[in-house]
Amino acid sequence: MMCGVTGWIDWETDLRNEEATLRAMTGTLACRGPDDSGVLLSRHAALGHRRLAVIAPDDGAQPMGTTSGDGPRTVLTYNGELYNYPELRRELRALGHEFRTRSDTEVVLRAHLQWGADAPRRFNGIFAYALWDDRRQELLLVRDHLGVKPLYWHPHASGVLFGSEPKAVLAHPLFHAELDAEGIAELFALPAAPTAGHGVFRGLYEVLPGQTVTVRRGATRTALYWRPTARAHPDDPATTRETVRALLADTVERQLLSDVPLCTLLSGGVDSSAVTALAAAARERAGHSKVTSFSVDFPGSAERAPDAWRTSADAPFVQAAAEHIGTLHTSVLIPDDDLLDARDAVLRARDRPGWGEMDASLHLLFREVRRRSTVALSGEAADEIFGGYPYFHDPAALAADTFPWLHGRTTPAALLRPEVAAEVRPEEYTAEQYRRSLDGVPRLEGEEGADHRIREIFHLALTRWLPPLLERVDRVSMSVGLEVRVPFCDHRLVDYVANVPWAVKTPGGRSKGLLRDAVRDLLPPQVADRPKSGYPSTPAVRYTEVLTARAHELLADSQAPVFDLVDRETVRRALAEGRPLPSPRTAPNPVGGLDHLVQVDEWLRAYRVRLR
C-alpha cells in the first residue's frame, strides 16, 4: 500500500496526551493516503498513518502491531509495496507465524519479529517505514534499496520526529522552517542533484536508500543493509542480455500485483516501452485485459528544435509503441494556463523549490491518470543503470573533476549576493560533496583508468542524480493519490547491471545497447533504436510571459524575500539584456532559471522560512 507515515518519539513527554499534535502531522499526508487514517499513542511513541489501499483494500489498517496483555509491543507504520510478499508469507507461515490479514504490511511486521534488523535484506519492493519496539523503547526507520519511497527525520533534544514528507515534520511545533548555509548551497549550487540525505531545512535529514536508522534514548545509529557491490562480471554478452531480459520481465510481472486499476506511463522511449510491452505480455499470459497507457504532450511540441537532451518529439514514437504493443492509450495535452494554475500545487507537494513547469506538467499528467488508475508503472531509472544520459558519453564531462552534469554549466549560485556567497562558499561546497560522493564508490581489485572512472560515473548517477528524480515522481504522484512503480529500480537488476563492463552495456558504441538488444523483439525498430530524449519541457509562451512579469514585480518589491539571498541588480541586468537566468536543471530550458527565482520566493513566503 502506498501511504504516508509519521511519528513522534519523546522520552521526556507523555505522548498519550498529544493526540492533537499527532493528528495534525498525520493530516498533512492525507493526499498520500485518501482511503483511511489511523494513530497510535503510547507513553513515549506516537505513530500516525494515512492509507492508499492497493493490495487487500479491506485489510491492513495501520498503525499495525502485535499485542500482549498490557498493550502493543511492536508497532509498524508502513508505506510501500513488497513484491515478494507472497513468498515471504509462505516462509513465515512455515516458521509458525499466523496471519490475521492478507496485506503485505503484516508480512513486514512479522518478518521483523522473525529476522530482526536483517528483515529488509529479504524484501523486494519499494518501502519506507517506522517500527517501534515498546519493550526495548527503540525506533527503527527503514528505507528501500534505491530510495523510491521517502522518509525524513529530525532529531530533537529528547527524541525524534519523522514523516514521509517534510510537511509532516513541519506540522510539529518543535520544528521550524529554517535555511542555513548548507541549505542555501543545496538549493543554488546543487539543485539538479542535491546531496542524498540532506533535507534542505536546517536539522532535517532523509533516511538514505538501503539504510536503517535506529533511535534509542540518548543514542542514534545508522547502518546500510544494501548497496551495489563491485565484482567481476562472469557472463558473456549473450548471457548478459538474457539475464537482463529475465530480471526485467520478472520484475515487471511482480509489479503488476494490484487489487486496484493499473496502467503504464508510455513516453515512446525504449525504457517505458519495454516496461509496457512486458506488462502487456504478462497480462495476456494471465488472461487479463489490455494494458492502459498514458503519455503527456503540449501544444506546439512537434515544432521545437531538438537538442542534446531532447532529441525528438514523443508523439510519433508513442503512437508506434502503443499500436505495436496493443495498449489502450491516452495522450494528455496540457495547455499553458493549466501549467500556471498547477504551480502552487507542486510547490506544496514538494515542500521545496523544484523544477517549475516540468513539475507542473507532471502533476497535471498524474492527475489525469489518477482519474482511471491508482497504480502506474514507469520507465524511470533505466538511464542511470544502463548509461543513457549525454554525460556518460561526453569525454570532457567524464574527465571533469566535478559531477559530470555540472561540467561547463553555470548554476543559480551565480546569482547569490556577494555576502551570502562568501558564507555559503558554493564552489567549495560542491567540490567537497563531489569528494564525499567518490569516497563511496565500490572498488574492484585491478580496475583502474577509464574502467574505474565509468564505475564512478555510474555510482554518481545512482547516488546523486537518481534520488531527486525519484523524489520528484513520488511527491508529485502521491499529491494526487497515484502510486508509481519503477521496475528498473529492482535492486537485483541494479546490482547485476552495475558490474556489466561498459563495452557490453554499449555494444558497438550504442547508448544503452544492452537494454535495446534485450527487449528488441518486443518493440518496433524505431522505438528500440530511438536516441535518449528527456522528459519534455513545454514551449509555453504565456507561461514565460507570466513568469517574466512576476520577476519584474519581485524586482519592484523591496521586501521580496528571495533578494535576501539573490543579488537584485544581477537579476535586473539579466532581464534588461534578455539573458536567461542560470537554471537549476541540466536539460536546456530558457525559462528554467526564471522559474527557479520565482519559486524560491514563493517557497520562502509560503513556508515562512527563516534564514540562519
Pick from 363, 348, 398, 359: nearest CA to 603: 348
Q: Which of 3, 31, 263, 489 is catalytic?
A: 3
Q: Give CA–CA dist 233/280, Å, rounded.
A: 31
- Residue 499 DSSP SS3: coil
Q: Give CA–CA dist 431/401, Å, rounded.
A: 8
Q: Which H/E stretch holds residue 215? A: strand 211-216
Residue 3 annotated among the catalytic residues of the structure:
yes
Contact 420, 365 (CB under 8 A): no
Q: Give CA–CA dist 19/25, Å, rounded.
A: 10
Residue 288 in grid coordinates: 487479463
Can you count the helices (H) and strands (E) in the chain? 24, 19
Q: Give CA–CA dist 191/350, Å, rounded.
A: 13
Measure CA of the first residue to CA of the last residue in the chain; give whole Å: 39
Contact 56, 259 (CB under 8 A): yes
Q: State which amino acid sits at residue 591.
A: V
Q: Are strands 125-133 and 71-82 parallel, antiparallel or unpaired?
A: antiparallel
Contact 213, 458 (CB under 8 A): no
Q: Give CA–CA dist 392/123, Å, rounded.
A: 31
Q: Give CA–CA dist 193/579, Å, rounded.
A: 24
Residue 579 in grid coordinates: 539573458
- Stated length of the chain: 612
Residue 590 in grid coordinates: 530558457
Burial class (CB in 10 A: 0-12, 13-18, 19+), 201: buried
| Eight-class DSSP state of 582 | P
Contact 519, 283 (CB under 8 A): no
E strand segments, 338-396: 375-377
Contact 131, 117 (CB under 8 A): no
Q: Which H/E stretch holds residue 115? A: helix 104-115
Pick from 139, 131, 126, 96: nearest CA to 112: 131
Q: Which residues contact 323 (CB under 8 A, 6 or more apart)?
A: none
Contact 220, 236 (CB under 8 A): no
Residue 21 in grid coordinates: 499534535
Residue 494 φ/ψ, nearest 5 degrees: -60, -45
C-alpha distances in Å from residue 329, one per residue of 322, 361, 491: 7, 18, 30
Residue 128 φ/ψ, nearest 5 degrees: -155, 125
- Residue 45 DSSP SS3: strand
Query: Hey, which residues are catalytic here?
Result: 3
